[in-house]
Structure 1
Amino acid sequence: MAKSLCIIYSQKAKYTLWGNLISTCCKLSPMRYSDYVDYGKLDPFKKMALEKLSETFGAPKRLGIRVVPESLGEPASLFDFVEYDFMLAFVVEGLGTKNLIAEKMAINEKAHGRRFYEGIGQDVLATAVNELPCVGATPFGYGDEVAVGSSSWFDDRVKAEQFLKSLATGCRIAMVAAPCGETPALCDIISPEAASLSGSAIGLVRPKSRAMWGQGLKGDEIIYGIESSGIHANGITLARKIAENLPEGYFTELPDGKTLGEALLKPTHIYAPLIEDLWEQGVEIRYISNITGHGWRKIMRAKREFTYRISFVPEPPLELSFLQKLGGVSDEEAYQVWNMGVGYCIFSTKEFGEIIASKAERRGLRCYTLGHLVAGERKVVIEPKAITYFH
């Protein structure tokens, strides 16, 4: 009995301390992602790159291959092998700053020599392979790049082995081969203690009729959201700025007993196997949105005039709710920066809802019926939060 009372008291104390911390930190000025990362400067460069490099798109024609123009601006680009019934999809993606959390935690005395790269390899892989099903492709190949500021980064064998083991785990989950990679030492470009992690992935679209860029949307679709594992790899900069202002930093304990850093470092879910399952079962998938940068704004990524009405919002992961409260981050900001518990959106019809949910459950993933499409202005309306994002 005494032991039970101690446990109850300990839990109450933990929640009281957490509440006090939130109360104190919420006195700070509200924090916004745009204070650190300005998409207003990034996105115009991407558009300019497409414009300036468009003259190269005809080069593969000599081989009987064409760049599919409709795929430009989608999560991955498509190459049509004109005389054959398949296409290849190609994408380049980077992890961003998530590994800085692992680096910061490792040098803290509370780490006691522990390294925190156990999920980082899967994270960097997921940034690329999760994009390929969005254009109808099944991933099959990956090549990573570990760019460092000093070759001494590789001296830490434990960290290196953790990273490679995690990358291999991700490859097994995604069912892809990783036969190549690159390890440039970029002295004076990257800081000596850091690494920039990125990679390229390639996937197969077969038959060609599976290729998609939103052309199949009719306006009668249901939006099925597949849960995220946590923050994944987007909005990390804002999360870091909030966490690093806390007295205990990444070692701040959450109500569930985990540290904030451990929660943020949970590896990104890989969704490609689920999509393979659905295709094999004949599920009609008309579009897929990978909820990454821009958060729930990504729901309206397809270049079509529809209104996306969201009638259900799942409970966000604990660490995201925690960060939102501590940083004074508004709902409007949070849902356009973080995934808030939804990592992938599948656009299909009502008749396939049960099988999508069933296959997701078999993969250990929750599936939510978020809402539906209607004809109208291109925007996302999150009704439970009274938020509207316009294109």
Structure 2
Amino acid sequence: MDYRTAGVDVVAGRAFVERIRSSVEATRRPEVVGGLGGFGGLCRLPSGLREPLLVSGTDGVGTKLELAQAHGRHHAVGIDLVAMCVNDVITSGAEPLFFLDYIATGKLSPEAMAEVVEGIADGCRQSGCALLGGETAEMPGFYGPGRYDLAGFCVAVVEASALIDGRSIAAGDRIIGVASSGVHSNGFSLVRRILEARGVGTATPLPGGDAPLIDTLLTPTRLYGALVRSLLQAAVPIRGMAHITGGGLPENLPRCLPDGVQALLNPASWERPPVFRWLQEAGDVPEPDLWNTFNLGVGFCLVVPADALTLALATCREAGYEAWPLGEVVTRQPGDPVLVGLPS
């Protein structure tokens, strides 16, 4: 017996590392020390910071992986992995520094795994952070052949005086919605159940369009790091930010609001992307469940003073992001909900 007959191919693992080396090195930042292959990744803090705060986040892609693996779409979920972590840490105004990935699989498929890592590197380049290291574990007998799982870890940095934590949000502030790229990486246990019930195949089109429904569902999660960077460079006085991820607006927007205020939202301020209408109709999903499961077209939220609304919207457009006034912050009385205006 040897390790290969037990299910782990060390030679293939080494070839995989060489395949991804150029993608990893393309994400390098000036603060990175050393290269790929050490036992730990090294990274300096950016110069010029007086009171740096490190901001960390970790996440996965969830059961979207099941759909992606079934249809051979590996690059996209690499981007998803980065987005689910980076979009969280930037809500504090932090700059992403580096990213780590963990890939666990039953049997290493160098081609598929390389596509995943190339997607991760793509997401890191878009976010301006270094892919500092990672781990790929072959676990035969634990994961089935061709199956894999992903986890990601991101570290960002922000000057203490520039931290955005929502504490300065006050009645009269405006809430901006920034468009998502679709379903992102949440709610796929429900999505997959609907697809199975409706017998959706690879070529099944999204009603009203030419693109296959599967392509629409597997569109990578939009990355908002470049947007936040543009807003800060334009001196937009951001008072709070929220990544609209699992739980939708009802769960995530309140996370950036301080006590004593509530968000008054206008659901008619944007048009839901067609994929959400299809999911609701195909799955007969109740309206409140839609709001508590999906982003419904809102991937990120900004809270700014009323007199900064015009500048913030213009900066979003210049950066290539669709954005619109989503609502406003009002005084909340004890016992009142944090969000009003959405279906209950």
TM class, shorter-length: 0.7 to 0.9
Q: Please name the residue that 1:120 is paired with.
A: 77
Which AA in structure 1 matches 2:92? V
Which AA in structure 1 matches 2:299? G
TM-score (norm 1): 0.70
> Aligned pair 1:300/2:259, yes or no?
no
- Counterparts in 2 of 1:33-182, with a 5 A limit? 84-105=50-71, 115-148=72-105, 150=106, 152=107, 154-155=108-109, 157=111, 159-182=112-135
Change (3 A) 1:186 1:93: same
Which residue of the other structure, out of 164, 173, 197, is the alignment partner of 1:212?
Answer: 164
8 Å contact from structure 2 (residues 231, 316) kept in 1: no
Within 2, Cα distance between the matches of 1:355 and 1:185?
50
Deviation by residue 1:192-236 (Cα, 9 ceiling, x = unmatched): 432111111011102x12213321111221110100000001111
Which 10-residue stretch deviates more, 297-306 or 343-352?
297-306
> Aligned pair 1:240/2:192, yes or no?
yes
Q: Relative to total residues, which structure has the larger helix share, 1 or 2? A: 1
- Secondary structure at 1:230's aligned position in 2? coil
Which AA in structure 1 matches 2:73? F
Gaps of 5+ in 2: 1-48
Gaps of 5+ in 1: 1-82, 106-114
List 4+ stretches of structure 1 deviating above 4 A.
Answer: none
- Secondary structure at 1:118's aligned position in 2? helix
* Structure 1 residue 165, shift from structure 2 partner: 2.3
Which residue of the other structure, out of 210, 217, 221, is the alignment partner of 1:264?
Answer: 217
8 Å contact from structure 2 (residues 180, 298) kept in 1: yes
8 Å contact from structure 1 (residues 300, 378) kept in 2: no
Which AA in structure 2 matches 1:144? D
8 Å contact from structure 1 (residues 308, 372) kept in 2: yes
Deviation by residue 1:229-264 (Cα, 9 ceiling, x = unmatched): 000011111111101222234532112111111101
Q: Please name the residue that 2:182 is paired with.
A: 230
Which AA in structure 2 matches 1:293? G
Which residue of the other structure, out of 321, 341, 344, is the alignment partner of 1:382?
Answer: 341
Within 2, Cα distance between the matches of 1:347 and 1:228?
17
* Structure 1 residue 319, shift from structure 2 partner: 1.4
- Secondary structure at 2:324's aligned position in 1? strand
Within 2, Cα distance between the matches of 1:239 and 1:128?
22
Deviation by residue 1:333-352 (Cα, 9 ceiling, x = unmatched): 10110000000000111222
Q: Percent of aligned positions with the same letter in both sequences? A: 27
* Structure 1 residue 156, shift from structure 2 partner: 5.1
Which AA in structure 1 matches 2:176? Y
Q: Please name the residue that 2:30 is paired with.
A: none
Within 2, Cα distance between the matches of 1:251 and 1:305?
50
Which AA in structure 2 matches 1:223? I
Which residue of the other structure, out of 240, 265, 268, is the alignment partner of 1:310?
Answer: 265
TM-score (norm 2): 0.79
8 Å contact from structure 2 (residues 234, 315) kept in 1: no
Deviation by residue 1:158-194 (Cα, 9 ceiling, x = unmatched): x233222222221111011002001123444444432
Within 2, Cα distance between the matches of 1:226 and 1:123?
17
- Secondary structure at 2:161's aligned position in 1? helix
Q: Please name the residue that 1:283 is paired with.
A: 236
Q: Please name the residue that 1:198 is paired with.
A: 151
Within 1, Cα distance between the matches of 2:297 and 2:218?
15
RMSD: 1.8
Q: Please name the residue that 2:329 is paired with.
A: 373
